[in-house]
Amino acid sequence: MVQDPVLDELRQFVRERDWGKFHTPGNLAKSISIEAGELLECFQWDGAELESAKEELADVLTYCLLLADKLGVDPAEIVTAKLEKSRDKYPVEKSYGRSAKYDRL
């Protein structure tokens, strides 16, 4: 079990409300998608209100952390592992300053 102050606080919050029974991986993944849509809505008309965006981003991150916890994975470890794969997939010399994948130019 990953020990992290934020994750520990989330676990306590969920325990106090007996919500863990609802937190299946599928439900958490759906919640991430729903909250990501609400975050996107903050930017719909190019005038994003920072406070609203922060709250929606917090919701997305909360569900991501809860899903990682449910799956028994360390968020820092999986992000670092994915970053290593991305370094190989997008080498600096071929990707620098480009938004398109280098093999599609």
- The pLDDT of residue 100: 83
Q: Which of 80, 73, 66 is nearest to 26 (CA)?
A: 66
Q: Give the model's pLDDT for residue 51.
A: 93
Residues 60 and 86 in one domain: no
Domain shared by 79 and 104, yes or no: yes
In terms of domains, do 30 and 62 share one?
Answer: yes
The predicted structure's pLDDT at residue 104: 67
What pTM does this model have?
A: 0.88
Whether 36 and 60 share a structural domain: yes
58/85 same-domain check: no
Residue type, 46: D
Alpha helix ranges (H) inside the chain: 5-17, 25-41, 50-71, 75-89, 92-95
Q: Are residues 7 and 43 in the same domain?
A: yes
State which residues of the chain have pLDDT below 70.
Answer: 102, 104-105
Beta carbons of 38 and 56 less than 8 angstroms apart: yes
